[in-house]
Amino acid sequence: MSQRQPVDRRPIDMRAAAVMAVLCLIWGTQQVTIKAAAAQMSPILQLGVRSALAAMATLGLAAARGELRAMTRATVLPGLAVGVFFGLEFVFAGEALRRTSASHVTVYLYCAPLMIAFGLGLVHRDERLRPAQWLGVALAFAGVALTFLGRGDPGLYPAMRLGDALALAGAASWAITAIVLRGSRLADAPATITLFYQLVGAGLLATTTALTLGETAVHADAALALSLVWQVAVVAFGSYLTWFALLRRYSATRLGVLSFLTPVFGVAAGIILMGDRIDGGFAIGACMILIGIVIATTGLPHLRRAYR
């Protein structure tokens, strides 16, 4: 998700850093939340239901703010595109959670910023990567290769590598979503409209895929209800709108650096709450990915200047 920044952007202050830390904690634990409720409802169906419900809430907020007029021809077509790719991200992530650990899914999904930096550099002259950033790209890709060589837990996840590949496909879909947003009229649309297009696409595509694959069994209980309330109200609605609000006030690049706390929280939550086992190769590779992404998305000189 991305939004065009105003010219006058604030430096990161303690308030923004604290809000980002909370957002990263929410985003990092969402894969664990989904996987924990997988026995009651398939991950992909959970993602579809939560997106559809959050889309309705977002539409209501947009109506209350008088922002529905932004749904014009100029935004509908790119809106359809971001909806499809945002939906594909959730489809891939949902199927990945059935085949590999929540920790793996979190780390691989957060390869998306690297793909975004690479893709924007190809299509926008002013976004071309500098030599230091190419070093980050190479380091991150080496980290991905190393994590794939890890043994993981084949007894618990016999299709682990397929799950990891699906998570990477989800990251690529996320990246395409951001690139479309960057180059379309949606970059100037209200946050509620942009989020609505994405959530509608995710809701329709994930739910349809769940129906097609026969992943429709639901064993309703209090735990599943609490999980869905958390995912709809906090993750898909509250946290995404808060992210857009931050993007209107602060530098996306500087916020992006802070967002790399997300996979750290995600891996920690997977280990503590789900008992995920992380081998040495995956741990080293994950660190290489995170360091490489920071370098690729900021460039070392920019990173030094951002927090003076």
Domain ranges of the chain: 14-306
pLDDT at 161: 86
Burial of residue 171 (CB within 10 Å: 0-12, 13-18, 19+) is buried
Q: For the chain, how long is the longest CA-to-CA vector?
A: 54
Question: Which of 65-74, 199-208, 271-280 is most confident?
Answer: 199-208
Among 40-49, 183-192, 206-215, 235-244, whose mean pLDDT is lowest? 183-192
pLDDT value at 122 more than 50: yes
Q: Where are the alpha helices (DSSP H) in the chain?
A: 14-36, 43-65, 73-97, 102-109, 112-123, 131-149, 160-182, 191-213, 222-229, 240-249, 252-258, 261-274, 280-298, 300-306
Q: Which two tokens stand for residue 37?
A: 């409720």
pLDDT of residue 307: 38
pLDDT at 308 over 50: no
Top mean pLDDT of 21-25, 114-118, 177-181 is at 21-25
Evaluate if residue 2 carries a pLDDT over 70: no
Question: What pLDDT, on a 0 to 100 scale, did the predictor assign at position 82?
Answer: 92
Rounded mean pLDDT of 240-267? 77
d(CA 153, CA 147): 13
**How does pLDDT run across 129-162, given as a tens digit for each residue?**
777 778 888 888 888 888 777 666 666 778 888 9
Whole-number Cα distances in Å, 33 to 7, 26, 213, 241, 266: 38, 10, 22, 20, 10
pLDDT band at 254 (very low <50, low <70, confident <90, very high): low
The answer, yes or no, to whether residue 95 has pLDDT greater than 60, is yes
Confidence bin at 302 (pLDDT 50/70/90): very low
| Better pLDDT: 77 or 145 | 77
pLDDT at 244 over 70: yes
Is pTM beyond 0.75? Reply is yes
Q: Quick one: what percent of the chain has pLDDT higher than 90?
A: 37
Q: Give tens-digit pLDDT for 176-229.
A: 988 888 778 887 888 899 899 999 999 999 999 999 999 999 999 998 999 999
What pLDDT, on the 0 to 100 scale, is given for residue 152?
Answer: 61
129 near 293, Cβ under 8 Å? Answer: no
State the average pLDDT for the chain: 83
- 279 phi, psi to nearest 5 deg: -80, 170
